[in-house]
Amino acid sequence: MAEIKDPENTLILETTKGQVVIQLLPQVAPEHVARIKELARENAYDGVVFHRVIDGFMAQTGDVQYGKQGSESFNPGRAGMGGSSKPDLKAEFSATSHIRGTCSMARSQNPNSANSQFFICFADAPWLNKQYSVWGQVISGMDIVDQIKRGEPVKDPDSIVSARLAADV
């Protein structure tokens, strides 16, 4: 595992494929980082599927409304259409590039519609720069991210087993 320098700003995702460690970037997107931390501390991401995974592009997850296995509202056909009960976030676009391992918020056409869904880039995606709010960077486990099952939607998807801040484990 990567050396964790700031446990309060390090997210540990246990996935069905293995562990992914993400360095949060509060200096880049403070409100988005605060939301990720809030949802992780509520265990909201536990059981959430990777519902849209495009080879050579990204793996998307975080639909705590329709994508959380075992919840009353879990609906594989609607996974990717929901968010959380919290209000949408105002965009925090930055000069931080979308490179391999970048974690960024998913959103609709409305730039201020990010809520709980996010994606991890498999490769550099410069066309996303200044269009999506970057909030983290994978520092360990990209080999795990690379193993996540592909699809749009994904048949029998991989999921987040748990999402915890290093400060809390």
Considering the domain boundaries, does residue 2 fall inside one? no
pLDDT the model gives residue 2 = 75
Residue 83 domain boundaries:
7-165
pLDDT at 50: 98
Does the residue 63 lie in any domain? yes
Q: Which of 13, 115, 138, 122 is nearest to 66 (CA)?
A: 115
Q: Look at the chain and report how many structural domains it folds into.
A: 1
Q: Which of 120, 137, 125 is nearest to 29 (CA)?
A: 137
* pLDDT of 142: 98
- Residue 95 maps to which CATH number? 2.40.100.10
State the pLDDT at residue 3. Answer: 85
Which helix H or strand E contains 129, and what residues bound it? Answer: none
Predicted pLDDT of residue 160: 98
CA distances from 117 to 4, 7, 55, 60, 140 (A): 24, 22, 18, 7, 21
Residue 36, domain member (yes or no): yes
Cα–Cα dist 160/93, whole Å: 26
Cα–Cα dist 106/25, whole Å: 16
Cβ-count burial of 105 within 10 angstroms (0-12 exposed, 13-18 middle, 19+ buried)? buried
- Residue at 1 is within a domain: no
How far is Cα 145 from Cα 70, in angstroms, rounded to an integer? 23
Q: What is the mean pLDDT of each run of 10 residues along the chain (169 residues)?
A: 90 98 98 98 98 98 97 95 97 98 97 98 98 98 98 95 97
What pLDDT is attached to residue 81?
96
In a domain, 22, yes or no: yes
